[in-house]
Amino acid sequence: MKSSVTKFFSTLGAVFGNGATAPYQPYDKLEGGYTDSYLGDDIFSVTVKGTGHAHVPTLYEHFRRRAHQLTVQNAYRKYEVLDCESTSLGRQDPTLHGRIKCYK
């Protein structure tokens, strides 16, 4: 009986636990995601927005991942984070915004 209960809660956690992480994807109103834009002088703006269940460390991982992709996609060798800050309204929709500078 104990193993059945454990399996039930493990399954329940797996089903509902998926909402606790922010998916890495282009921005979507329901699930969050990243947006970026080129600001000029080899500088990009990157914003990662989660849902109320996303954690800032996860958003920071997505920020770094997107920064790396922008670097490679635009034929740069490396990047540096110029600034990066997180904001949220209480526990609603945490957001991470920053700028990166890319180098050839």
The answer to whether residue 67 is domain-embedded is: yes
> In terms of pTM, does the model score above 0.75?
yes
The answer to whether residue 5 is domain-embedded is: no
Give the Cα separation of 2 and 92 in Å (integer). Answer: 36
The pLDDT confidence band at residue 92, using thresholds 50, 70 and 90, is: confident
Percent of the chain whose predicted confidence (pLDDT) is above 70: 77
Beta bridge partners of 48: 34, 96
CA distances from 16 to 49, 85, 103 (A): 20, 28, 41
CATH of the domain at 86: 3.30.1360
For residue 90, the model assigns a pLDDT of 64
Domain boundaries, position 98: 22-103
CA 79 to chain centre: 18
Mean pLDDT over each residue of the chain, to the nearest integer: 83
